């Protein structure tokens, strides 16, 4: 997925994730640090797709608070097949409800998103690396565990379509 509705973190959490990106790079694990020529931001995606029409998403979410007034705490490390390393927040009914509301609005507007982000399938996470070599998994996980827990307050949101270099901030 190259397009998403992304939630961004407070400065302290953002710096901690960026420091973890640096540690992974030093360990020989390509992080998201240099993705998009360094423009990539630590985030949690509420929905993702191969393509998102920013103005259509903004319109569909009109009246919905895009930035939920909450703090999550990243408490564990996860790994998706194919080498994707991530941090997961502890359970949050408020976060699940917010994601479901965003998904419902987009679905009502006819905006297609990845089934991986459908209700009951979505795994909230902050991606750290998209390509961890098998020989580096243990070291990468250790580096992640060393920084946990990471509390993060949501401070911004946007529709980001990285393949097309479009970015539409969402109102708080």
Structure tokens at 70: 């909450």
112-130 b/e (C-beta count within 10 Å ≥ 16 → b): ebbeebeeeebebbbbbbe
Structure tokens at 139: 């070291």
Q: How far is CA 164 from the centre of its chain?
A: 18
List of domains in the chain = 3-170 (3.90.1140.10)
Given a cut of 50, the residues of the chain with pLDDT beneath it are none
Question: How high is the pLDDT of residue 123?
Answer: 97
Question: How high is the pLDDT of residue 107?
Answer: 98
- Predicted confidence (pLDDT) per residue in 85-113, tens digit: 999 999 999 999 999 999 999 999 999 99
Question: How high is the pLDDT of residue 171?
Answer: 86
Phi, psi angle pair for 26, to nearest 5°? -60, -30
Pairing of β 126-129 and β 43-49 = unpaired
Question: How high is the pLDDT of residue 77?
Answer: 98
Question: How high is the pLDDT of residue 37?
Answer: 62
Q: How far is CA 12 from the centre of its chain?
A: 16
Structure tokens at 42: 């630590």
Taking alpha carbons only, the member of 88, 71, 70 closest to residue 79 is: 88
- Contact (Cβ atoms closer than 8 angstroms) between residue 161 and residue 2: yes
């Amino acid at each position: 997925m190259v397009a998403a509705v992304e939630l961004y973190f407070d400065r302290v959490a953002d710096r901690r994730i960026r420091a973890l990106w640096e540690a992974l790079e030093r360990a020989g694990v390509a992080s998201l640090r240099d993705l998009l020529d360094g423009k990539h931001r630590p985030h949690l995606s509420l929905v993702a797709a191969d393509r998102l029409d920013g103005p259509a998403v903004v319109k569909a979410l009109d009246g919905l608070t895009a930035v939920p007034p909450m703090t999550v705490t990243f408490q564990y490390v996860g790994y998706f097949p194919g080498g994707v390393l991530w941090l997961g927040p502890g359970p949050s009914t408020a976060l699940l409800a917010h994601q479901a509301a965003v998904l419902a609005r987009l679905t009502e507007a006819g905006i297609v998103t990845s089934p991986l982000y459908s209700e009951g399938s979505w795994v909230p996470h902050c991606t750290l690396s998209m390509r961890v070599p098998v020989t580096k998994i243990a070291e990468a996980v250790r580096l992640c565990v060393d920084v946990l827990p990471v509390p993060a307050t949501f401070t911004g949101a946007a529709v980001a379509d990285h393949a097309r270099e479009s970015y539409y901030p969402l109102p708080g």
